A and B are shown apart, each in its own frame.
Chain A
Amino acid sequence: MNHNTVTNKEPLIRMVKRGHIGKKRAWTIRGIAMLISLMVCALVIVGITGQNPLQVYAGIIDGAVGSNRRIWVTIRETFALLIVAVGLVPAFQMHFWNIGAEGQILMGGVASAAMMIYLGDALPNWLLIVLILVVSSLAGLLWGLLPALFKAHMNTNETLFTLMLNYVAMQITTFAIVFWENPAGSNTVGIINSATQKGWFPRVLGSNYGLNVLLVLAITAAVSIYMKYSKQGYEIKVVGESQNTARYAAINVKWVIVRTMMISGAICGLAGAIIVSGASHTISTSTAGGRGFTAIIVAWMSKFNPIAMLAISGFLVFMQQGSIQIASQFGLNENASDIITGILLFFMIGSEFFLKYRLEFKHRKENAK
């Protein structure tokens, strides 16, 4: 036995688990993380472009909230992201890893575009909009139902299943675009009903996007109440935490999985309608625009708290909109915004580690013999 290999040295850095951490302290840590992330972003900007980072940040703010129109675009995008995150909450609380929101949004989007194109002249506008909301929800519901049925009855892996359905939705969208091409040969759908504005959300609260905000707020509130106070919300949590316990409590686990994914898919499908009818008035394969994935981060980081989800959605969209502005202003590539968002997320998620652990550094031992 070689006793000399084990030396009398303390490890340099050790992780120590924290006990309870006060709210004030937690937010201080998050605040510090945010500051550091902004500094790192500044360094990167200086390193790549040689621009003054303060100017760049001013550009970001200008891009996000610099004018009335920009403010409304930021709000519109924030709520589009929020509703997708809200849609994911029931599935995630059930520990059903729905990463197929992207596809569910697209299906809802395609459904609303179809309604606008085919029924635009046949129905009064209010009825058309109600129909758009219903049909797009059903389309999303179907996209949520498929993986849920297979999960419930054959225990397939929902992560792969929902991910692959995204590609199917993408193909369906491409197919529909070929069908609805306008003008011919452009390979895009163009603005649907640009002359009649049929199927477009009406102006509410003095803005084109007022209805978007109201709809999303209503659904956010409804889902929060559903999860917190309803029996179904309770069942979702039991199933998510322990299927054994759910079985013991005589909860119909299969039905809960199917029902919850129908709700989750329907909300994401509705998000598709809000994006298509309420904002872009067109459909393309980038209609979902990665929101289905960004929303996963929003939902988890906020720990499903609706207020936190709104705040995080707002922050991410603010940075994205701002980055689009600096990209054109300083001649940066559009990917600059991705880099900045990436750095911010890294620090925001990383700060959660420091809420649970603290580091202890080596301290000298005076009485070591």
Chain B
Amino acid sequence: MSTPAIELKNVTKRFGSVIANDNVNLTLEQGEILSILGENGSGKTTLMNMLSGIYYPDEGQIFVGGREVSIQSPKDSFELGIGMIHQHFKLIDVLSAAENIILGLQGEEILKMQEVYAKINELTAKYGFDLDPKEKIYNMSVSQKQTVEIVKVLYRGADMLILDEPTAVLTPQEIQKLFTVLRNMRQAGKSIIIITHKLNEVMELSDRVAVLRKGRYIGCVETAKTSISELTEMMVGEKISLDIHRSQPQDAHKRIEMRGITVRNKEGVRMLNKASFVANSGEILGIAGVAGSGQKELLEAIAGLQETETGGEILYYAPTGETLKLTEMTAENIRNLGIHLSFVPEDRLGMGLVGSMDLTDNMMIRSYRETGHFFAHRKAPRELAEQIVEKLDVVTPGVDTPISHLSGGNVQKMLVGREIAAQPIVLMVAYPVRGLDINSSYTIYNLLNEQKEKGVAVICVGEDIDVLLALCDRIMVMSGGNITGVVDAKSTTKEEIGLMMTGATKEKADHES
């Protein structure tokens, strides 16, 4: 066998008392696609950041092409031929693709854009990218921006590529396109590491899979000789069932009806365009769509946190038989009706929780007004916090710990737990399992199912279509602020939803698939 492209030996990295990587050994062979698989917090990104020069290992050695190296900055990493494509793109919107690609390179005195275009076109033709080098970034879709990032590192001559969760923001069709390109690059001799926690992608794309768990290297297997259940076991450390129990909706009634709601953001851009839909009691309505398609605005409009344009209305059919117009009510009154929003934003703590406060104080964010006069009462919220910690197995030193010290999954359990404890009639959750490990994810799915069986109308915005398909009764698909259709989760296909995510209506998607 030839010398490996990259070899890590006994690499350890600590952050305070937290060991992010503990004696990790890893080998990337020349011309292979290696998946690094692990749950959130297992140390995947930290490990890759040491290769890209963002962190420096506390212990251990790194070999590139058989030579021991010391990577002290991203520049060092680049000179070794390592190119990293981060989850968050680092592009300048007002520049063109080509201008972004050559940004920061030492060129000659006179910039010859024609030569740059030619070189980019050569690269895109070679690997099968779809990219116009003159296109401005702000005109591009997320997938095109990602293409620019990949071409950028190739242009600079990288022959080892690291992609951090590259599929998180893509539709199923775009993912296929990306995989084709990656396979072409492997063909051309490039070595590729892809970080992911989606098992089916691992199986489909990679040659070998390295698994990390809680900062430790568990092992490396050949993809052809393993199975999803074996990988899950390596990832989680125990055998778990991956089936979500779905009961038939009982006694469904209309609960929420949205009619022609339009929302514009501060810049006047239409984020939600004449949206209309119905959510029923006793069912889970899933919302699928690429991030930023209007899901957040839709939920916030129902919760009364979003200004909507006149002309539309949101109706609430109370279990008592009353019909109320939510569009005319304040956020506080809507919440008192039992309509609860549990939104897990990208930064997790941005809305609904206060990071520097302890668990107890975070439990009373909504209810602190209800008791006493001048002083706040902390006994009931404290008991609630203790209950949630116990019931949902939240890992925390105690209820007096600032919630930002908890891991993402535990933070989410506290948030969802609090909303459910308030006995909602409508429960809206966005990305309820974002960043959660498999076990916690299933705890949350079960909680949602429990609510559904109690007759709660559950609306769930999700990112993993496989999960939505397994969990929801109906799935509503959004694209660019439009609702492109509502499908039955039991009879639809991933392809149909994927097409609708790109803006095709249900009829058209049916026709194409």
* A positions within 8 Å CB-CB of B: 1-3, 5-11, 14, 16-20, 229-234, 237-238, 241-242, 244-245, 247-250, 360, 368-369
Contacts and interface: CB of A to CB of B under 8 A. Distances in A.
B68 to A, nearest CB: 5
Contacts of B64: 3
A1 B75 CA distance: 12
B312 interface: no
A1 B157 contact: yes
A97 to B, nearest CB: 17
A230 B343 CA distance: 27
B376 A18 contact: no
Contacts of B439: none
Contacts of B71: 6
Among A18, A19, A250: residue with most chain B CB under 10 A: A250
Output the residue of A2, A237, A242, A248 with the most chain B CB within 10 A: A248
A1 B305 contact: no
B490 interface: no
Contact of B79 (A2, A10, A247): A2
Majority DSSP secondary structure for residues of A touching B: mixed
A1 B357 contact: no
B396 interface: no
Contacts of A244: 350-351
A238 B79 contact: no
B374 A3 contact: no
Interface residues of B, number: 46
Contacts of B18: 19
B31 to A, nearest CB: 17
Interface string B332-358: 100100000101000001111111110
A362 to B, nearest CB: 11
Contacts of B357: 237-238, 241
Contact of B353 (A10, A234, A245): A245
B16 A248 contact: no
Given A19-B16, A20-B17, A241 B354 contact: yes
B177 interface: no
B58 interface: yes
Contact of B376 (A3, A14, A20, A234): A234
A250 B355 CA distance: 18
B70 A230 contact: no
A19 B405 CA distance: 12
Contacts of A360: 58
B305 A248 contact: yes
B80 interface: yes
B56 interface: yes
Nearest to A368: B68
Interface string B26-40: 000000000000000
Contacts of A6: 69-71, 76, 79-80
A342 B417 CA distance: 50
Nearest to B71: A6
Nearest to B361: A234
A5 B361 CA distance: 53
A8 B81 contact: no
B67 interface: yes
A82 to B, nearest CB: 24
Contact of B70 (A7, A231, A233, A250): A7
Contacts of B372: 231
Contacts of A9: 70
A241 B355 contact: yes
27 contacts: A3-B67, A5-B76, A7-B70, A8-B70, A10-B70, A17-B16, A19-B16, A231-B369, A231-B374, A233-B376, A234-B361, A234-B364, A237-B357, A238-B354, A241-B357, A245-B354, A245-B365, A248-B305, A248-B341, A248-B343, A248-B352, A248-B365, A250-B330, A250-B332, A250-B366, A360-B58, A369-B68
B128 interface: no
Interface string B477-496: 00000000000000000000
B335 A250 contact: yes
A241 B374 contact: no
B354 A5 contact: no
Nearest to B356: A241
B350 A245 contact: yes
A8 B76 CA distance: 11
B441 interface: no
Q: Which of B16, B18, B368 has the most CB of A within 10 A?
A: B16
Contact of A3 (B80, B305, B369, B375): B80
